[in-house]
């Protein structure tokens, strides 16, 4: 019998999670995603969404979040909006998806318009650029943490870890084009991770 981190059997934990997700109010989804959109800077939205929906509230499992993140990255559009649609739909269907994506974009939309009007004046304030660098560093730290957790979960075998390393070297180091690399690596990683008879994996 499989037991998760909470000490519950896997099937019981899944039932509890499903029951809890059915109770997630639309207002709670709006409040969480609006707060994330209004307070996240420097590209740290993905890490913040993981913290709020997985670590803090347990609305999703880590595996569900990583599945949505991977799906959001391969689909057209911004990763964060795709992820918001995925989480909202998973929690409360179409209404949840609409509320999640609208609320995560509402605050940045109006803030960007307002900041664009005062940006030139703000850059003259002493310490402005240092403050922006600090905010960006915090966002990078959250992304690195999420990347570490994703690698720990998805690269637990030599084959899948090798694919991840190869993609990192090809795109991050060699600067090869994204699409050809993913076109080759994605089928390989799916094949390596696909369940096989008897529980054997490559």
The answer, yes or no, to whether residue 63 has pLDDT greater than 80, is yes
Which among 19-23, 80-84, 133-137 has the top mean pLDDT? 80-84
The answer, yes or no, to whether residue 11 has pLDDT greater than 80, is no
Same domain membership, residue 115 and residue 54? yes
Is 1 part of any domain? no
Same domain membership, residue 173 and residue 112? no
Same domain membership, residue 103 and residue 197? no
Same domain membership, residue 171 and residue 149? no
Q: Say how many domains are in the chain.
A: 2
Q: Which helix (H) or strand (E) holds 70?
A: helix 62-74
Is 110 part of any domain? yes
Domain boundary among 138, 154, 170: 154
Pick the residue with more confidence: 148 or 27?
Answer: 27
Same domain membership, residue 127 and residue 177? no
CA distances from 7 to 10, 56, 74, 163 (A): 9, 18, 34, 32
Is 18 part of any domain? yes
Distance CA 96, CA 106 (A): 15
Same domain membership, residue 191 and residue 107? no
Residue range of the domain that includes 181: 155-202
Pick the residue with more confidence: 159 or 1?
Answer: 159
Same domain membership, residue 60 and residue 134? yes
**What is the value of pTM for the model shown?**
0.61
- Band of residue 19 on the pLDDT scale cut at 50, 70, 90: very low
- Band of residue 196 on the pLDDT scale cut at 50, 70, 90: low
Same domain membership, residue 200 and residue 123? no
Distance CA 51, CA 162 (A): 28
- Band of residue 10 on the pLDDT scale cut at 50, 70, 90: low
- The average confidence (pLDDT) of the chain is 79
Is 5 part of any domain? no
Same domain membership, residue 180 and residue 134? no
The answer, yes or no, to whether residue 176 has pLDDT greater than 80, is yes
For the stretch 77-127, pLDDT in tens is: 788 899 999 999 999 999 999 999 999 999 888 888 887 788 777 778 888
Q: Which helix (H) or strand (E) holds 97?
A: helix 79-122
Distance CA 111, CA 202 (A): 49
Predicted pLDDT of residue 201:
46
In the predicted model, what is the mean pLDDT of residues 45-66?
90
Is 2 part of any domain? no
Is 3 part of any domain? no
């Amino acid at each position: 019998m499989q037991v998760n981190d909470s000490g519950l059997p896997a099937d019981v934990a899944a039932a509890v999670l499903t029951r809890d997700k059915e109770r997630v109010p639309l207002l709670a989804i709006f409040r969480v995603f609006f707060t994330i959109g209004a307070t996240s800077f420097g590209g740290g939205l993905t890490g913040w969404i993981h913290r709020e929906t997985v670590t803090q509230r347990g609305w999703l499992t880590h595996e569900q979040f990583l599945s949505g993140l991977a799906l959001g990255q391969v689909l057209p559009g911004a990763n964060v909006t795709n992820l918001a649609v995925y989480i909202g739909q998973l929690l409360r269907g179409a209404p949840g998806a609409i509320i999640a994506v609208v609320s995560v974009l509402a605050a940045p939309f109006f803030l960007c318009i307002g900041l664009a009007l005062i940006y030139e004046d703000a850059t003259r304030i002493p310490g402005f650029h240092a403050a922006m660098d600090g905010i960006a560093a915090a966002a990078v730290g959250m992304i690195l943490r999420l990347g570490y957790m994703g690698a720990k979960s998805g690269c637990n075998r030599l084959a899948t870890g090798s694919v991840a390393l190869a993609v990192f070297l090809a795109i991050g180091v060699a600067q090869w084009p994204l699409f050809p690399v993913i076109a080759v690596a994605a089928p390989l990683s799916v094949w390596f991770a696909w369940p096989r008879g008897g529980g054997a994996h490559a």
